[in-house]
Amino acid sequence: MTRSRSKLTQARIVLGIAVLAFATFSVLVPDFLSAGNVSRLLQNVSILGILAMGMALSIIGRGIDLSMVASMAVSVAWMLAEMNTGASFAHAFGFALLFSIAVGVINGVLIAYVEIPPIFATLAMGTAIYGFGRVFLLASDVNYLPDDWQWLNTIATAAPLGIPVSVLCFAAVCGLGHLFLRGAREGRYIYMMGDNPQAARITGVPIRPMIVGQYVLTSLVALVAGLLMAALVATMNTRIVGSTYVYDIILVAVLGGISLSGGRGGAGSVIVGTLLIGILLNGMTMMNLGYTTQNVIKALILLAALTIDSLVNPRDEQTSQQGDI
Amino acid sequence: MTEPLVRLTQVTKEYFGVPAIRAVDFTVLAGEVHALVGENGAGKSTLTKVMVGITAPTSGTIAVDGTPVTLRSPAEALNLGLAMVFQETSLVPSMTVAQNLYLGQEHFFTRLRGMYIAAQQFLQSLNFNVDPMTPVAGLGAAQKQMVEIARAVLRKARLIIFDEPTAALTPEEKHHFFALIERLKTSGVAVVFISHAIEEALQIADRITVLRDGEIVTTDAASSFDRASIIRAMVGRTLSDELYTRKDGQTRPPQDLVLSVQNLSMGSMVRNTSFSVYAGQVTGIFGLIGSGRTETAKVVAGVLKRNLFHGGKVSLFSRAVRYRMPRQAMLDGVVYVTEDRKIEGFFEGMSIAENIFAGHLTARGPRIVSPAQMRDLASTWRDKLNIRAIDPGARVVELSGGNQQKVVVAKSLVQRPKLVIFDEPTRGVDVGAIAEIHAIIKGLADDGLAVMVISSYLPEVLNLSDRILVARQGRIVEEFAPQDATEETIMYAAVH
């Protein structure tokens, strides 16, 4: 967006914090700066980053998709299960693709046409998808990459020129996300809907079809993340649905400056949010901090970023939006 | 001479180094009605906010009853008897009138019955006809305002400040409101009100202060002003005559029939209304609030849907249409310029260019966005409509009301419409920009477009229209030619 006034956007602040954290860990933690660690750091968060890019698409359009993790896990697990029973890749992938699209369409229809608030519609959908998958599609929690497809794992864990393949995937998704949001007509529509849905409608944005499209896109990005995850660790564990992973995704997106009230932020926000979370998680793990302590620190960082944002870019009566967070 | 109730001495308030008011000396006498008038951005709101402790002045002193005070919060100001009633009411909709009156003053255990009895007695003592047991959500705008006023009086306010108190009121409600101000005045309460309606200020104020660019131009007894002299003081130039009188006395003849509405009905707001709009003309629609004008326009533009059964017929260029969403209407060449630009007009987080481009994009715009095209389009329309912004990258929300409105108009016109519906095109727009927006509207009709202008301001309707339709209770009831119409005849048709 052309915004010559407020130079200190949240994305820039977070980038600053990320650099600071990186510098601090480099001093405090031995081996933090080693090439192996940096590439591991990036590899660990690239899936989170891709999911956050998908989440960003919903949030910028003034929505949210809490069913992303379930959609990712069930569609990819189903694909692996089918491949293990001897189905061809095209066949299995087709199922996963259709499943993802169906999830997005149902989410979108519930939100756009039935007018259920996105947070509730997708929360319920997430549970429904997982239950449906476990009852009808999947025999077990964990589904493995078939033996004759292990070469995929080799490729995914490779690092040409020192850059892990998963990071390249993350970069590609963010690049496409950026091109779509800034360059495509529908991307601009998403910003318009997020900024002011009523004005977008009167201006002639087909709001309801756009909402459906937005959730289909989010679901498809989740599928991409799921495929990468399956290739990277050679399994898809559906128990991830029950974890706090979806909140990490929201944390990354919001941290980078994608306001939950919609219409703000972009692919750059996702990248800086992912970097900061990656640096923190990696640094804290290398410092042997426990899982719970890490969660507390993540939460405090989020609060700090939001506080700084609201101090630097104060929202008064005139500029506040409904549901502003 | 007694000390005034409130005295501001050399008060300056700066926002980020930009002064909103500059070295203002202002007094409010006990029991007077004082009107504040000025263009948008003249500093009226800032001045009142300083008086009730919402914002602290950058420099200068405030004295209440001659004693210098520092107001740190609205609560402190209220303790000194200074209260403000906002444009958007601060009542809790789901609570009853009585609960709202005593909000924040409840005891730990409150007897509802006792509260209702006390509220009833109190409202009666003010001669307010409001049932204390109705929820506030069920009240009209005027009654809500009454409750707000009652609350201020209940807290022993000696000065009540109103920000645009009559903007949301119908003429009858305005009448009640003026009577109420009279009663407040006789009971010794001072009233300060901000108003854009100059007649009101002349009618009910004892003194009038005119602000321009953050400075007080003049303060004097209301009797020493007239309409023209106020406007002259507001804008620093004589504008009133050229603004609201037709110079030519000519009306444009109707060309092709563009829109024909027959027996249109929508809920309880639009009842069986019929009218036509022709190309090359401005069709003015006058009606009071609740006459269904906005709803009719929104049905035509696809923003609202008409009744499924017995909804009537809408024909565009002799083709029956029924729109489910504004996009379809827009693609057929119908655009609606809203009366509430903040809520459904512009995208506040976006720049002028992005806003105008949004209109272009939805109307058969390119699939791929080109920043260069966006800039060109913006500069074309900035020149065409004379949109003024110090910083071209500024967000629309940072512009003045008039420039915001021009951006919304540009966003609609860039869609190359055949029928443009303006709903209250000059609401919240400064005097200078009103003339420009009027010129834009006339220019569209001269170019052969069909133009509908909905307005509740009679001089505006009379000035712009080639035909005047009057709406009453959800239906178009009369048509006038502007040369035969006077403010009185139109108003006579509009009131029930």
CB B237 within 8 A of CB B433: no
CATH number of B257-494: 3.40.50.300
- Out of B359, B369, B394, closest to residue A185 by CB: B369
Three-state SS for B335? strand
- Out of B369, B397, B411, closest to residue A203 by CB: B411
Question: What CA dihedral angle connects A286, A291, A296 and A302, to 10 degrees?
Answer: 70
| Mean pLDDT on B46-62 | 88
A316 confidence band (pLDDT: 50, 70, 90): very low
What is the predicted pLDDT for the residue at B405? 92
Contacts of B228 (CB under 8 A, 6+ apart): B238, B240, B241
A184 contacts in chain B (CB < 8 Å) = 367-369
Which residue reads 């105008």 in tokens? B356
What is the predicted pLDDT for the residue at A288? 86
What is the predicted pLDDT for the residue at B130? 80
The answer on pLDDT for A81 being more than 90 is yes
Contacts of B124 (CB under 8 A, 6+ apart): none
pTM: 0.77
A204 contacts in chain B (CB < 8 Å) = 326-327, 330-331, 359, 362-363, 415
In this structure, of A34-43, A46-55, B272-281, the range with the lowest mean pLDDT score is: A34-43
Going by DSSP bridges, is the β-strand pair B467-472/B281-287 parallel, antiparallel, or unpaired?
Answer: parallel
A30 confidence band (pLDDT: 50, 70, 90): confident
B393 contacts in chain A (CB < 8 Å) = 2-5
Q: How far is CA B237 from the centre of its chain?
A: 23
| Mean pLDDT on B260-285 | 91
What is the predicted pLDDT for the residue at A66? 94
Residues 264-303 of A with CB under 8 A from B: 264
Residues 399-428 of B with CB under 8 A from A: 411, 415
The answer on pLDDT for B41 being more than 80 is no
What is the predicted pLDDT for the residue at B289? 66
What is the predicted pLDDT for the residue at B126? 74
> Closest-CA residue in chain A for B357?
A188
The terminus-to-terminus CA distance of chain A in angstroms comes to 20
CB B159 within 8 A of CB B4: no
The CA–CA distances, whole Å, from B92 to B142, B443, B464 equal: 16, 45, 40
Residue A324 lies in a domain: no
Cα angle, residue A227 at apex, residues A224 and A229 outer, rounded to 5°: 110
Instruction: List, as one string, the DSSP characters of B410-479.
Output: HHHHTT--SEEEEESTTTT--HHHHHHHHHHHHHHHHTT-EEEEEES-HHHHHHH-SEEEEEETTEEEEE
| Mean pLDDT on A267-280 | 90
| pLDDT tens digits, A147-180 | 888 888 888 888 788 788 999 999 999 999 999 9
What is the predicted pLDDT for the residue at A44? 80
Phi and psi at residue B4, in whole multiples of 5°?
A: -65, 160
CA–CA separation, B36 vs B38, rounded Å? 7
Contacts of A4 (CB under 8 A, 6+ apart): B391, B393, B394
> Closest-CA residue in chain B for A314?
B16
- For testing contact with chain B, the best of A202, A210, A259, A312 (most B CBs within 10 A): A202
Neighbours of B466 (CB within 10 A): 20
In this structure, of A209-223, B20-34, B84-98, the range with the lowest mean pLDDT score is: B84-98
Residue A325 lies in a domain: no
> Which CATH number do you get for residue A177?
1.10.3470
| Mean pLDDT on A23-40 | 82
| Mean pLDDT on B180-207 | 85
What is the average pLDDT score of chain A? 86
Between B68 and A38, where is the model more confident? B68
| Mean pLDDT on A56-63 | 93
Edge-first strand listing for the sheet containing B257-266: B270-278, B257-266, B313-316, B319-321
The answer on pLDDT for A53 being more than 90 is yes
Residue A318 lies in a domain: no
The answer on pLDDT for B242 being more than 70 is no
In this structure, of A157-161, B260-264, B408-412, the range with the lowest mean pLDDT score is: A157-161
Bridge partners of B287, per DSSP, are B471
Whether the CB of A192 is below 8 Å from some CB of chain B: the reply is yes
Whether the CB of B90 is below 8 Å from some CB of chain A: the reply is no
The answer on pLDDT for A4 being more than 50 is no
| pLDDT tens digits, A281-307 | 888 888 888 888 888 888 887 787 767
What is the predicted pLDDT for the residue at B275? 94
What is the predicted pLDDT for the residue at A321? 43
What is the predicted pLDDT for the residue at A46? 92
CB B191 within 8 A of CB B184: yes
CB atoms B411 and A1 under 8 Å = no
Taking alpha carbons only, the member of A101, A80, A123, A132 closest to residue A237 is A80
What is the predicted pLDDT for the residue at A214? 95
A3 confidence band (pLDDT: 50, 70, 90): very low
CB B348 within 8 A of CB A195: yes
Whether the CB of B15 is below 8 Å from some CB of chain A: the reply is no
CB atoms B411 and A191 under 8 Å = no
What is the predicted pLDDT for the residue at A64? 93
Percentage above 90 pLDDT, chain A: 49
What is the predicted pLDDT for the residue at A71? 95
Neighbours of B151 (CB within 10 A): 22
CB B53 within 8 A of CB B13: no
In this structure, of A60-74, A251-265, B11-25, B282-296, the range with the lowest mean pLDDT score is: B11-25
The answer on pLDDT for B394 being more than 60 is yes
Whether the CB of A7 is below 8 Å from some CB of chain B: the reply is no
Residue A317 lies in a domain: no
B167 confidence band (pLDDT: 50, 70, 90): low
CB B74 within 8 A of CB B43: no
Residue A31 lies in a domain: yes
B18 confidence band (pLDDT: 50, 70, 90): low
B89 confidence band (pLDDT: 50, 70, 90): low
**ipTM value greater than 0.95:** no
**What fold does the segment set B6-242 form as a domain?**
Rossmann fold (3.40.50)
What is the average pLDDT score of chain B? 85
CA–CA separation, A69 vs A223, rounded Å? 9
In this structure, of B226-230, B311-315, B356-360, the range with the lowest mean pLDDT score is: B226-230
B474 confidence band (pLDDT: 50, 70, 90): confident
Sign of dihedral through CA atoms B234, B239, B245, B250? negative
Taking alpha carbons only, the member of B266, B286, B201 closest to residue B456 is B286
B244 confidence band (pLDDT: 50, 70, 90): low
Whether the CB of A4 is below 8 Å from some CB of chain B: the reply is yes
Taking alpha carbons only, the member of B59, B53, B51 closest to residue B27 is B51
Q: What's the total number of domains in chain A?
A: 1
Three-state SS for B220? strand
**Domain residues of chain B, as ranges?**
6-242, 257-494
| pLDDT tens digits, B360-385 | 999 988 889 888 999 999 999 999 99
Provide the domain limits for residue A140. 10-312
CB A251 within 8 A of CB A298: yes
B350 contacts in chain A (CB < 8 Å) = 1, 191-192, 195, 263
CA–CA separation, B261 vs B159, rounded Å? 50
Distance from CA of A194 to the nearest CA of B (A): 9
CA–CA separation, B43 vs B57, rounded Å? 13
What is the predicted pLDDT for the residue at A127? 94
What is the predicted pLDDT for the residue at A320? 43
Burial class (CB in 10 A: 0-12, 13-18, 19+), B114: exposed
The answer on pLDDT for A121 being more than 90 is yes
The answer on pLDDT for A322 being more than 70 is no
